[in-house]
Chains A and B, each alone.
Chain A
Amino acid sequence: DTEVTQTPKHLVMGMTNKKSLKCEQHMGHRAMYWYKQKAKKPPELMFVYSYEKLSINESVPSRFSPECPNSSLLNLHLHALQPEDSALYLCASSQEYSNSNEKLFFGSGTQLSVL
C-alpha cells in the first residue's frame, strides 16, 4: 500500500463551523505533513509531525489545529476559518523526518471552501 488517503475530498464550511480533515497512511512512514495549496501556486508547508510529535509549525494561525493520534493518522481541526483559508489542503508522509532526503508521498487533498 503506497497511498496516502485523505477525507473528505471536498468540504464547504461557514466561518462559524468546526470541521476536521483526516489523513491516513499505511506505509510505516514516521513523518507526516500538512500543506496548503492555493490555485496556481506551489504547496506551502504548515505542520510537520515526526514520530507523532509536532516538529514544525510554520507560524500557522491557531484556527488550524493539527493532531497526530498515532503513526498512521493525521488530522487537521478547523475552527472559525476565514474565506481566504479556502484552498487545497494536502497531507503528505515520508519515511523519516531527517536532515537529508525527504521523499514526500502526497494524498489527493481536500478542496476546502469557506463561505
Chain B
Amino acid sequence: GEDVEQSLFLSVREGDSSVINCTYTDSSSTYLYWYKQEPGAGLQLLTYIFSNMDMKQDQRLTVLLNKKDKHLSLRIADTQTGDSAIYFCAEFVTGGFKTIFGAGTRLFVKA
C-alpha cells in the first residue's frame, strides 16, 4: 500500500540544525519531495531527490535517502525563525499517477 509517515513535531533552537525524518512504503517511487507550508499559505516545493541518489544538497538543505530502509530525511542547517512551518514529505507513486503526502512535521524554532 501507499503510506508516508512522519513525526508530528520538532522543536529546535535558532542556529541549530533540524532533522526531519520520513518513511515511505512504495518501493516503485521514482521521486521523493519535501514541501514547506507556512501559516495561511499553500505548499512550496523545497527540494526533491531521484530514487537512485543517496544525497542531495541545496544551500542550507540536505536530503538523505536510504532506499533499502525507505527512509528520507531533510536536514536544515543554521535553522532560523523563518524556517518555522510544516514540512511535508511526499512520494510520487508511479502506479497511481499521484503524489502521496505525509501528515507533516510542524517545526518550531525558538529564538
Q: Which residues of A contact B (CB under 8 A)?
A: 4, 6, 40-43, 45, 48, 55-56, 90, 92, 97, 99-109, 111
A90 touches which one: B31, B42, B92, B94 (CB < 8 A)?
B42
Alpha-carbon gap, A89 to B104, bound state (A): 17
Q: What sequence of 0s and 1s flags, for each residue 45-85 of chain B, a beta carbon within 8 Å of any chain A beta carbon? A: 10010000000000000000000000000000000000000
User: What are 21 inter-chain pairs, A to B, with CB distance below 8 A?
Assistant: A40-B104, A41-B103, A42-B88, A42-B101, A42-B103, A42-B104, A43-B43, A43-B88, A45-B99, A55-B97, A56-B97, A92-B43, A101-B31, A101-B92, A102-B31, A102-B98, A104-B99, A105-B45, A106-B35, A106-B42, A107-B42
Query: Contact: A100 with B94, CB < 8 Å?
Result: yes
Q: How far is the CA of A56 from the CA of B98 in the complex (A)?
A: 9
Q: Across the interface, do A103 and B42 meet the contact criterion of CB distance under 8 Å?
A: no
Which residues of chain A are near B42, meaning CB under 8 Å?
A: 4, 6, 90, 92, 106-109
Q: Which 7 A-B pairs have the closest CB atoms?
A: A106-B42, A42-B101, A106-B43, A108-B42, A101-B31, A102-B92, A107-B42
Which residues on the B side are within 8 Å of A103 (C-beta)?
A: 33, 45, 48
**Shortest Cβ gap from B5 to chain A (Å):** 11
Chain A, Cβ-Cβ closest to B106: A40
**A45 CA to B93 CA, complexed, in Å:** 13
Contacts of B101 in A (CB 8 A): 42-43
Considering the complex, give the chain B residue whose CB is closest to the CB of A6: B42
Shortest Cβ gap from A50 to chain B (Å)? 10
